[in-house]
Amino acid sequence: MLAKVLLSLFLWLRFAAGQDTPEPGAQPPISSAEGDLLFLLDSSASVSHYEFSKVKEFMWDLLHPFTFGPRDVQTSIIHISTTPTMEFPFDQHLSSGTVRKAIRDTRQLMGDTNTGKALSFTKEKLFSGEAGARPDVPKVLVWVTDGFSTDDISEPMQLLKDMGVTVFIVSTGRGNFLELSAAASQPSDKHLHFVDVDDLPIITKELRDGILEEISPVQVLISDSGPHSFHVSWAPVLDSVASYQVLYGPLPGNSVKVLQVDGRHNSTVVEHLAPNTTYLVTVTAIYRSGKEKSLSAKACTQEEGSGVRHLRFEEVGANSLRASWDPAQGAVRGYRVRCRRHSGRSSALSVAAQVHSVLLNDLPSGSRGRVCVQPVYTNQPGRRLCRSVHRQPATEAQGYRHRERDRLL
């Protein structure tokens, strides 16, 4: 008994000093995930101080790879005791460092194990703007328990699940398997864990992946759009995902095509598309558990020949150049011209579709710069054409010489 007390004191001193657990360097940061994650922490007298400190270590190990913020993950803790108590609201700690300190500073309240009351309190706070909870983001509850409760949990837990909350349960005691299995979200084998308090690290990655299934992916990104293709990407890549389905079709319309992507990848190129067309793209993650989750985005292909051609320069004064170009094809609405000077200010301007040249000032002899011209269409900009300019000092040459290289972006 004395040895266990001394071990508990040693672990607590390490945790309070910020040396509780080495940072797992192999675990990359998790961004592009958004949700309100609430821990229901058994803080009653039925839990020993040693167990309470181990559970706090587990909570931090579970959380530390996440990115915290108003558009990322927010977390909170509610104590199970005689009276439920919120340790801190969701929007109070929005960085990894402050979340870690808040967990480290959490103190056990003791008292009775009134889990049912704590669940009713949880329902109130998970959907309360005053507690920092956000509307329209996934809600996840992680209940860490020794398996004992002095009041009924079935009704308040069902209300939470009916409101869309995903419930994970970690039992560090024997507990009632049937009661806990019914309380956890289904399938229970994915949402219910029985583990000794000293073996909590064994389930950390599995539980974290389960949480990520509920709050990821949060966005589909479209890039590198051309007349007949675009690039689709999403994040993050999870071990729990077996494959992805990418569905795409023109808007308006009922024609849909499907691409299958291996679960180890998070991007693909969609090809053989019609130019100047808006597409609806839906990415569906198919988890090994059989669960599916989808997210959609719109993508626009460019018009044919949507880049400018033959960008050239003409000296018109000691400090000025005229940039001119051949018009881009299609229904151009205008052009954007940007001049980036190596020293001095950069400038940008927009001109009408019928204008194919502009005067660039503040380019004296000896100066360097880069000029880009980009056509603008109804749906999106076209491809830019950029060229570098180097005006030699007037003593070396009258006029200027320029070094140029065409590059389509």
Hey, do 2-215 and 220-300 end up sharing a CATH topology, with the first three levels equal? no
Listed by start position, the domains of the chain span 2-215, 220-300, 309-408
Is the domain defined by 2-215 classed in CATH 3.40.50.410? yes
Q: Which of 80-94, 209-223, 314-328 bottoms out in mean pLDDT, i.e. has the lowest?
A: 209-223
CATH of domain 220-300: 2.60.40.10
Task: Report pLDDT digits (tens) over 327-366.
Answer: 887 778 899 999 888 777 788 889 999 999 999 888 887 7
Question: Any idea which residue has 């389960």 for tokens?
Answer: 210
Task: Report pLDDT digits (tens) over 179-232.
Answer: 888 999 988 888 999 999 999 999 999 999 889 888 866 568 888 787 888 999
Tokens of 201: 């690290």
- pTM here is 0.55
- The pLDDT value recorded for residue 302 is 78
CATH of domain 309-408: 2.60.40.10
